[in-house]
A = this chain, B = another copy of it.
Amino acid sequence: MDEAGPEIGRLIEMMAKLPGLGPRSARRAVLTMIAKKASVMEPLARAMAEAAAVVRACRVCGNIGSAELCAICSAPKRATGVLCIVEDVADLWAMERGRAFGGRYHVLGGVLSALDGIGPEELRIPALLERVADESISEVILALNATVDGQTTAHYIADQLEGANVEVTSLAQGVPIGGELDYLDDGTISAALAARRRF
């Protein structure tokens, strides 16, 4: 979109690189912004700069927030002794949307991957082991993705926690609520069958 000048062209290029957007949706988003410059574009630019200025990772759990301790680590009622391990902040937010977990989190920042050269030290696994020792944790829930790397990471953490006097659990696998069998992959169906319950 060089016809629109370098400023607009650059903005579209940068927007197009965000996940979920591409050139076409970036163009549409930028045109919408421009059409609503005072009510959309300028406030969005300000909100982005403000968020960038305050955002930081929680010193304890790796969640994001605007202070040294995130909102969850600062809430006393979340000190339940149950720690939920997630790969990234997106997964932490997904757990929070479920409104079923009342404890605290530990964000790994990824999963072990021999291919990408990601070992325990690249993740926040040493910090996790320290927390389990220091915070009188009774249960660690491994809420990692049901991928090969996710499950490898879960097994590694479970191994490391052996002998730490802590219960290690993981999320149940099965058919998602509203899930149609026809659309599920075979692994999900066989896992759900193996874990079948009395009706």
Contact = CB atoms under 8 A, between A and B. Distances in A.
Nearest to A3: B71
Interface string A36-66: 0100111111111111101100000001111
Total copies of the chain:
2
Given A7-B54, A7-B55, A43-B14, A31 B66 contact: no
A137 interface: no
A28 interface: yes
The dominant DSSP class at the A interface is helix
A19 B15 contact: no
Interface residues of A, number: 56
Contacts of A20: 21, 24-25, 28-29
Contacts of A18: 29, 32-33, 40
Contacts of A71: 2-5
B54 A49 contact: no
B3 A96 contact: yes
Nearest to A32: B19
A184 interface: no
B33 A41 contact: no
